[in-house]
Amino acid sequence: MAFTSVVGAGCSILAALCLPVSRDSIIDVFPYWLAAAPVVAVGGPLGSQVSRFVPRRIILGSVAVLCLFQYCWTCYHEHVACRVLVLAAVGVIALNMALHLLFMFGRRSLPLKG
């Protein structure tokens, strides 16, 4: 994640040099990147160590709850219309069904370990 973040910031700076139109967005976003960089640098390795001791189901459940909270907060903060919420819910359900079907297909096609 840290490497990707640095590459993304570098590409944005390069785009700002080549395309003056994108310069304003870089100036607005760069302080957020500076604020997030230490969190990623400390949180990534710390999360990796914690995940060695916490069961997988608890980690996945915690991440799912945090994602739902973030989604609800974003919808509240951005005053998302009801039609968009329904469309998003249908999309999430459809993608979950597709991923579950892929999981079941992969489970059937792989030989079981004896």
b/e per residue, 22-60, with b = 16+ CB within 10 A?
eeeebeeeeeeeeeeeeeeeeeeeeeeeeeeeeeeeeee
pTM assigned to the model: 0.56
Tokens 């302080």 belong to 31
d(CA 19, CA 82): 37
**What is the full per-residue pLDDT of the chain (114 aa) written as tens digits?**
668 877 887 887 787 788 777 667 777 777 887 888 888 888 888 988 988 899 989 999 999 999 889 988 988 898 888 898 889 889 989 999 999 999 998 887 766 665
